[in-house]
Amino acid sequence: MAGLFDPVRMGDLDLANRVVMAPMTRSRADEEDRPTDIVVDYYRQRAGAGLIVTEGVQPSAEGKGYARTPGLYNDGQVAAWRRVTDAVHAAGGRIVAQLMHVGRIAHAANRQADVPVVAPSAVAAKAKMWTEAGELPTEIPRALGTEEIQRVIADYADAARRAIEAGFDGIELHCTSGYLPAQFMASGTNQRTDGYGGDAAGRTRFVVETLQAISKTIGAGRTGFRICPGNPFNDLFDEDPAETHAVLLRGLRDLGLAYCHVIAMPTPQKVDQRALVAAEWNGSTILNNDLDRDRAAQLLAEGACDAVSFARAFIANPDLVERFRRDAALAPFNPKALYGIGAEGYSDYPPLAD
């Protein structure tokens, strides 16, 4: 019977405990999409997690959506991330980079000049994007040509290579929340008539091929992915998300990937994400969403997952694992400082007093 503080091996990742820090956009990168000194502090403070999954990191300039998010597509970014990974490893932690290409969830105000917004199809999202000039509607994307898709997949693989160069223990591919992989998988955003559209096998092909390319580059045991079947965030709709993700998971079974990170949450189509993953996935599983210490411990004891992840709890509690050990009260986070610029509400939350 597994517990919160038991070690676990997922693929090639050895975790000292089963409490994972979930990815969270915090918007503290500099103007060159590089993590700064306070980002180093932020992740180092939370190295007590069995595994840290970083905020979404764009694999290319084309993949950027939100203001002040970090990248992994040039040497300067690799060097900046190396400071983060060195700090986490020195504190005894493990850390993977979440690769996030936003696809159509973008606006030119947050991006380099003349970098196009691309997606599977030219379908605009009914969503707004925060920019320094306020909230603006997302743009109508340009549909990727069939020949371009391999270039996008290569961008992901190159970012994974750079992640290992930067000292990361692996990567997680972001496949939910309405971003590019989810846009390919969903029938509402994928109107393609080539081999990357149509039925569920065609719509999931991009994700399968991307994870194959990343695995070939850095090893399957260092490669995880995150899903949330039925998640409507960022104006995403699929006619049958349970079947789409069942086809996806079947297509990934034989790759030997490190883990599936699944968000279990209520959805308009009432998808049972836990049951779906249990039925279709044969590898390690990280379970996420609205867990507290006792519920997480129960899920591990029941064998429902191999690890559990927390997001908001890690924001205000850099020593979350130690608080769980002591059954100590958790500090609340300041939602107004989630996407600020400086250390306030980011790296200035204090640990427990000894």
pLDDT, tens digit (0-9, with 9 covering 90-100), for 77-118: 999 999 999 999 999 999 999 999 999 999 999 999 899 999
Q: How far apart are alpha carbons 139 and 152 in whole angstroms?
A: 19
Per the structure, the complete domain to which residue 259 belongs is given by: 8-337
What's the mean pLDDT in 127-147? 93
- What band does 274 get if pLDDT is binned at 50, 70 and 90? very high
For residue 64, being part of any structural domain is answered with yes
Residue type, 59: P
For residue 345, being part of any structural domain is answered with no
For residue 347, being part of any structural domain is answered with no
For residue 207, being part of any structural domain is answered with yes
- What band does 179 get if pLDDT is binned at 50, 70 and 90? very high
- Reported as a single tens digit per residue, the pLDDT across 316-325 is 999 999 999 9
- Reported as a single tens digit per residue, the pLDDT across 77-87 is 999 999 999 99
Q: How far apart are alpha carbons 278 and 349 in whole angstroms?
A: 37
Q: How far is CA 344 from the centre of its chain?
A: 24
For residue 231, being part of any structural domain is answered with yes
- Reported as a single tens digit per residue, the pLDDT across 48-75 is 999 999 999 999 999 999 999 999 999 9
Q: Please state, rounded to an integer, the average pLDDT across all residues of the chain.
A: 97
For residue 224, being part of any structural domain is answered with yes
- Reported as a single tens digit per residue, the pLDDT across 196-212 is 999 999 999 999 999 99
Query: What's 20-72 look like in SS3?
Result: EECCCCCCCCCCCCCCCHHHHHHHHHCCCCCEEEEEEEECCHHHCCCCCCCEC
Tell whether the model's pLDDT for residue 354 goes beyond 80.
Answer: no
Give the CATH number for residue 129: 3.20.20.70
For residue 262, the cross-strand partners are: 227, 287
Tell whether the model's pLDDT for residue 338 goes beyond 90.
Answer: no
When divided into structural domains, the chain yields a total of 1
For residue 350, being part of any structural domain is answered with no
Distances (CA, A) of 281 to 241, 253, 256, 260, 292: 15, 6, 11, 8, 25
Q: Of these residues, 179, 196, 346, 349, which one is catalytic?
A: 179
For residue 343, being part of any structural domain is answered with no
**Is 179 noted as a catalytic residue in this protein?**
yes
Tell whether the model's pLDDT for residue 219 goes beyond 60.
Answer: yes
